[in-house]
């Protein structure tokens, strides 16, 4: 019998369409819930759909879903968008369905609780404290020292995340964070930054991936001139990678991961020490899932769905390529007017370019602070790490986009 899955927000963010497709392709009946209106293509994968006024109004969504499903049997509730993972857990508890509890999911959502639980397992985490007021932040700085990171407890990505190196910088940052009701103040870790992404069955990784951030995520988000590069690592047996993977395994155990995907960030310091950053019990954003697909030539959208519904992973695990995603930001404001260097770049490296999603002239610029996708991106791949890095950095430096 086909499992009946309630899937929250199948229309947004855009990659949720692919997870919806994956559920349908592995035989699930997908009951979508969201505040968007599915188009005809997405409707093909939905057995039913409940449109709510706002998917972010948790109590209202839970009440409406409860009434909508009255008299119908469902097997699972799933969410792959960070703001909705707690809502999904609450719905599971309301209906008595299997899956991670609200308390377990909160350990993946509350950044301070997360670090406390990981530290309790004997794993290295940054020194940190929770803060509700500006006075709390100043007190926490006495514990962490400068430099420090100040960020929302339940944030996603690097939104409202700041590095502060002095009292003067902290004063300026606090004036920008008055809308944040709860923050984490933590020790700044100086090191190379990586992700650890995994598809898990009962907390045990069925597929693993590591991606290097170049530069680190906070720099990507704070310097407009940078063309951020994310480069997946083909060979996970390298000594400077294995420590992060072992850390990931420990974090999964410490937080009680169940079935599904995780996205973790970690650091490798100059002395080789690996330090936990943060983790979420959902897929990584900003093309991480596409990067995994190109690394192994698989469909991880479908495999996540297979894991979620059938607790089985069937795709090949062979890692064929290092895959680079290069995000571009136009110089200037307004509308894209010109792209310089792309033709020469494609003439040189075109055989290794698997996606070209750069905005073309005539297209308005995106807000680079609100989306890492910025003004578009290229995806490249090569089996050799040094070559993949060369191809990626050539895209970052040799291609220029202009706007006016």
4-36 pLDDT, tens digit each: 999 999 999 999 999 999 999 999 999 999 999
Other beta carbons within 10 angstroms of residue 347's beta carbon come to: 8
Calculate Rg over the CA atoms of the chain. 21
According to CATH, what is the number of the domain 4-99? Answer: 3.40.50.20
pLDDT number for residue 160? 79
- State whether residue 383 is helix, strand or coil: coil
Beta-ladder partners of 34: 51
Task: Compute the distance between CA of residue 163 and CA of residue 174 in angstroms, rounded to an integer.
Answer: 12
pLDDT number for residue 370? 83
Mean pLDDT of the chain, nearest integer: 95
Which stretch of 32-36, 100-104, 167-171, 196-200 has the lowest confidence by average pLDDT? 167-171
pLDDT number for residue 264? 98
pLDDT number for residue 372? 86
Q: Find, among 90, 387, 77, the residue nearest to 260 by Cα.
A: 77
Q: Is the model's pLDDT at 159 over the cut of 80?
A: no
**177: region left, alpha or beta (phi > 0 left; psi from -120 to 50 alpha):** alpha
Q: pLDDT tens, 305-358?
A: 999 999 999 999 999 999 999 999 999 999 999 999 999 999 999 999 999 999
According to CATH, what is the number of the domain 190-320? Answer: 3.30.470.20
Contacts of residue 142, defined as CB under 8 A and 6 or more positions apart, other chains included, come to: none
**Which CATH number is 127-187's, of 3.30.1490.20, 3.40.50.720, 3.60.21.10, 3.40.50.1820?**
3.30.1490.20
Contacts of residue 298, defined as CB under 8 A and 6 or more positions apart, other chains included, come to: 292, 315, 316
Which stretch of 296-300, 327-331, 352-356, 367-371 has the lowest confidence by average pLDDT? 367-371
Contacts of residue 343, defined as CB under 8 A and 6 or more positions apart, other chains included, come to: none
pLDDT number for residue 158? 59
Q: Give the predicted TM-score (pTM) of the model.
A: 0.93
Domain boundaries, the chain: 4-99, 127-187, 190-320, 321-404
pLDDT number for residue 156? 61
CB 398 within 8 A of CB 311: no
pLDDT number for residue 155? 63
289: tokens are 């899932």
pLDDT number for residue 178? 86
Residue at token pair 């499992």 = 3
CB 359 within 8 A of CB 371: no
> Taking the C-alpha atoms of 215, 220, 224 and 229 in order, what is their torsion angle to the nearest 10 degrees?
60
Could you tell me the CA-to-CA distances from 52 to 37, 58, 60, 73, 87 in Å, in that order?
10, 11, 8, 20, 14
Order of strands, edge to edge, in the sheet holding 204-214?
A: 274-280, 260-268, 192-201, 204-214, 229-232, 322-327, 377-382, 353-356
What are residue 104's phi and psi, to 5 degrees? -65, -45
What are residue 99's phi and psi, to 5 degrees? 130, 175
pLDDT number for residue 369? 83
Work out the average pLDDT over 58-84: 97
Beta-ladder partners of 5: 30, 76
pLDDT band at 371 (very low <50, low <70, confident <90, very high): confident
Contacts of residue 200, defined as CB under 8 A and 6 or more positions apart, other chains included, come to: 206, 252, 257, 258, 259, 260, 261, 262, 307
- State whether residue 197 is helix, strand or coil: strand
Could you tell me the CA-to-CA distances from 8 to 34, 38, 56, 67 in Å, in that order?
6, 13, 11, 16
Residue at token pair 């103040």 = 185
Which stretch of 81-95, 218-232, 338-352 has the lowest confidence by average pLDDT? 218-232
49: tokens are 């759909």
59: tokens are 């109590």
Q: Is the model's pLDDT at 381 over the cut of 90?
A: yes
Work out the average pLDDT over 252-268: 98
pLDDT number for residue 7? 98
Work out the average pLDDT over 238-243: 95
């Amino acid at each position: 019998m086909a499992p009946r899955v309630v899937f929250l927000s199948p229309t947004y963010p855009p990659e949720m369409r692919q997870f919806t497709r994956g559920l349908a392709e592995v035989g699930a009946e997908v009951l979508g819930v969201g505040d968007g209106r599915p188009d005809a293509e997405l409707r093909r994968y939905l057995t039913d759909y409940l449109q709510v006024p706002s998917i972010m109004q948790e109590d209202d969504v839970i009440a409406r879903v409860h009434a909508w499903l009255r008299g119908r049997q469902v097997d699972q509730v799933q969410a792959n968008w960070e703001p909705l993972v707690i809502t999904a857990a609450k719905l599971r508890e309301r209906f008595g369905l299997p899956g991670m509890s609200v308390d377990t999911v909160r350990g993946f959502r509350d950044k301070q609780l997360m670090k406390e639980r990981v530290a309790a397992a004997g794993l290295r985490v940054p020194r940190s404290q929770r803060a509700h007021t500006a006075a709390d932040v100043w007190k926490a700085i006495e514990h962490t020292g400068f430099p420090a990171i100040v960020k929302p407890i339940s944030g996603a990505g690097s939104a409202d995340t700041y590095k502060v190196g002095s009292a003067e910088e902290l004063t300026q940052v606090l004036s920008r964070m008055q809308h944040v009701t709860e923050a984490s103040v933590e020790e700044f870790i100086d090191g190379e930054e990586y992700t650890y992404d995994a598809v898990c069955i009962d907390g045990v990784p069925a597929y693993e991936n590591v991606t290097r951030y170049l530069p680190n995520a906070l720099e990507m988000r704070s310097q407009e001139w940078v063309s951020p590069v994310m480069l997946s690592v083909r060979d996970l047996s390298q000594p400077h990678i294995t420590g992060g993977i072992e850390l990931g395994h420990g974090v999964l155990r410490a937080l009680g991961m169940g079935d599904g995907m995780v996205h973790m960030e970690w650091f490798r310091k100059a002395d080789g020490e690996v330090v936990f950053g943060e983790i979420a019990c959902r897929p990584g954003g900003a093309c991480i899932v596409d990067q995994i697909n190109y690394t192994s030539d698989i469909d991880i959208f479908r495999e996540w769905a297979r894991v979620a519904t059938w607790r089985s992973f069937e795709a090949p695990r062979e890692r064929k390529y290092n895959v680079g995603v290069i995000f571009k930001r136009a110089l200037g404001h307004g509308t894209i007017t010109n792209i310089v260097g792309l033709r020469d770049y494609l003439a040189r490296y075109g055989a290794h370019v698997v996606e070209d999603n750069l905005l073309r002239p005539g297209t308005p610029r995106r807000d680079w602070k609100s989306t890492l996708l910025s003004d578009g991106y290229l995806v490249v791949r090569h089996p050799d790490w040094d070559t993949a890095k060369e191809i990626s950095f050539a895209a970052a430096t040799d291609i220029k986009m202009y706007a006016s």
